[in-house]
């Protein structure tokens, strides 16, 4: 091959490469964020709702140009199935950090017991994590790569019960003086009922007449409900993290004649406000049931909520979907402020979040901000109530979709 011919080939190659460069070199790598959630097992429905929220947010962010500070980089969702056991959740987190070293941040894992296991792994990996789980222990461990977007369980318990008591008295004209507690043994349940059991209700002038704890899964609710019928409390505080367990107790209460307003139920856990509960029990049995929810859709999302509901394929959106939607937007906001996809920079920006607008409107309360433990500052107690076959936010009043009711005897 002559020198002249080789020179010509080289010139043609350089010219071709330069023509291709804008397309090839101008591409910006996707920014991966993770969702670890129970996609199988007894909590799979909650995981699916979180997945819907995450994907809706990613679609909206990418459609609006991606991450501007990173030259329009698009977000990409990586999902790991946490299952419904601590060990499977831990394994999911380990798979994530081993197989996806370029993941920038993540959210999950719904149940506090699962979240405690997942965040042990993500903390060691230095992976920024956002969670809607609200057990106090989550942010009591001194972790640096973690933020908690809802009020912790002890705060939620002590702030929600006075609201429930005031609401009931306003509607019926009578104070509530006795309560039954039925809760499962998970970390979130016990964190919620512990301060109420250990003096919280007593300070409110309410006597605990039944206090039962069960280990999921619950095979038979007969004994629990028999104790309720014998004690006849003014209301039941019921905390179950599993939809099948919740359905079993409410169905058994109906069999024993304790539904339809005869024993008002205040529940904790958004599975009580899902379409599955309506399908399982019917609107009549759910009417007036009140759900303590750390987050829910509200007037703050009125401008986008109908369109989100339509795209989701769900009849309504609740905590799991709107919180995860907000989590992704908050990570996006942190990426913009950090101007980097480097984990430490993103985590620093997450901890520095203080927004009443933007991602702040997807969480109940005046703003989303965190203390030096990553624990939510402020926040509001949400009360959701079944009315006419659909759950509506009834508290805080300024964000409420309906006025509260209280089942009457």
3-state SS assignment for residue 148: strand
Backbone φ and ψ for 179, nearest 5 degrees, come out as -145, 150
Burial 122-143 (b: 16+ CB within 10 A, else e): bbebebbbbbbbbbbbbbeeeb
Inter-residue contact 151 to 376 (CB < 8 Å): yes
CA distance 321 to 53: 4
Whose CA is closest to 163, among 269, 287, 293?
293
CA distance 181 to 266: 10
- Specify the pLDDT at position 407: 65
Instruction: Return the residue matching tokens 């509607």.
Output: 171
Retrieve residue 144's tokens.
């640096």
Inter-residue contact 370 to 353 (CB < 8 Å): yes
**Strand locations in 352-396, DSSP E?**
354-355, 368-369, 382-387, 390-395
CA distance 193 to 15: 71
CA distances from 127 to 33, 118, 343, 347, 399 (A): 10, 11, 6, 8, 34
Inter-residue contact 167 to 403 (CB < 8 Å): no
Listed in sequence order, the residues at least 6 apart from 100 whose beta carbon sits closer than 8 Å to its beta carbon are 32, 34, 78
- Cα 36 vs. chain centroid, distance in angstroms? 12
3-state SS assignment for residue 217: coil
CA distances from 217 to 41, 43, 81, 146, 187 (A): 11, 11, 20, 29, 15
Strand partners, 354: 369
Instruction: Please count the CA atoms within 13 angstroms of the CA of 10 that sit on its side-chain side.
Output: 7
For residue 228, give the H/E element and its range. Answer: helix 222-231
Inter-residue contact 119 to 94 (CB < 8 Å): no
CA distance 400 to 409: 25
- Specify the pLDDT at position 23: 37
Inter-residue contact 28 to 71 (CB < 8 Å): yes
Strand partners, 105: 33
Retrieve residue 341's tokens.
């996809």
In which region does residue 189 sit, left (phi positive, over 0), alpha (psi from -120 to 50) or beta (all else)? alpha
- Specify the pLDDT at position 30: 96
Find the DSSP H helices in 257-304. Answer: 275-281, 283-286
Pairing between β-strand 382-387 and β-strand 129-131 as defined by DSSP bridges: unpaired
Whose CA is closest to 252, among 268, 236, 241?
236
Inter-residue contact 389 to 369 (CB < 8 Å): no
Instruction: Please count the CA atoms within 13 angstroms of the CA of 104 that sit on its side-chain side.
Output: 30
Helices vs. strands in the chain: H and E counts, helices first: 14, 14
Strand partners, 213: 183
What is the residue-level pLDDT of the chain in tens, covering all 409 positions?
Answer: 554 545 545 444 444 444 444 434 455 799 999 999 999 998 999 999 999 999 999 999 999 999 999 999 999 999 999 999 999 999 999 999 999 999 999 999 999 999 999 999 999 999 999 999 988 999 999 999 999 999 888 788 888 899 899 888 888 889 999 999 999 998 878 988 999 999 999 999 999 999 999 999 999 999 999 999 999 999 999 998 887 888 899 889 989 999 766 899 999 878 789 898 898 888 887 888 899 988 999 999 999 999 999 999 999 999 999 999 999 999 999 999 999 999 999 999 999 999 999 999 999 987 999 999 999 998 888 899 999 999 999 988 889 999 888 866 5
């Amino acid at each position: 091959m002559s020198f002249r011919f080789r020179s010509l080939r080289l010139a043609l190659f350089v010219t071709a490469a330069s023509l291709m460069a804008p397309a090839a070199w101008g591409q910006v790598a996707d920014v991966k964020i993770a969702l670890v959630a129970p996609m199988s097992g007894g909590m799979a429905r909650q995981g699916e709702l979180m997945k819907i929220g995450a994907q809706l947010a990613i679609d909206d962010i990418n459609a609006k140009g991606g991450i501007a500070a990173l030259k329009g980089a698009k977000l990409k969702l990586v999902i790991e199935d946490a299952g419904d056991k601590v060990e499977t959740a831990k394994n999911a987190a380990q798979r994530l950090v081993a197989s996806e070293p370029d993941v920038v941040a993540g959210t999950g894992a719904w149940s506090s017991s699962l979240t405690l296991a997942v965040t042990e792994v993500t903390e060691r990996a230095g992976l920024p994590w956002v969670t809607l789980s609200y057990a106090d222990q989550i942010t009591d461990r001194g972790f640096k790569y973690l933020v908690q977007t809802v009020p912790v369980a002890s705060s939620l318990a002590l702030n929600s019960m006075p609201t429930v008591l005031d609401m009931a008295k306003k509607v019926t004209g009578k104070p509530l003086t006795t309560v039954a507690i039925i809760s499962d043994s998970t970390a979130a349940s016990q964190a919620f009922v512990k301060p109420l059991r250990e003096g919280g209700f007593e300070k409110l002038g309410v006597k605990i007449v039944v206090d039962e704890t069960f280990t999921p899964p619950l095979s038979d609710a007969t004994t629990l409900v028999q104790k309720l019928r014998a004690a006849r409390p003014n209301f039941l505080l019921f905390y179950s993290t599993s939809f099948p367990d919740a359905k079993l107790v409410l169905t058994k209460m109906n069999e024993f004649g304790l539904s339809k307003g005869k024993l008002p139920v205040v529940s904790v856990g958004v599975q009580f406000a899902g379409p599955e509960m309506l399908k399982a029990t019917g609107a009549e049995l759910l009417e007036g049931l009140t759900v303590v929810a750390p987050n829910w859709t509200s007037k703050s999302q009125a401008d986008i909520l109908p369109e989100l509901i339509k795209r989701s394929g769900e009849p309504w959106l609740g905590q799991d979907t709107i919180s995860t939607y907000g989590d992704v937007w908050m990570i996006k906001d942190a990426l913009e402020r950090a101007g980097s996809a480097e984990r430490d920079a993103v985590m620093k920006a997450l901890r520095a979040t203080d927004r009443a607008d933007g991602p702040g409107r997807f969480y109940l309360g005046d703003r989303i901000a965190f203390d030096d433990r990553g624990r939510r500052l402020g926040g509001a107690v949400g009360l959701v109530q079944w009315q006419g076959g659909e759950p509506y936010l009834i508290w805080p009043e300024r964000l409420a979709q309906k006025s509260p009711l209280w089942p009457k005897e």
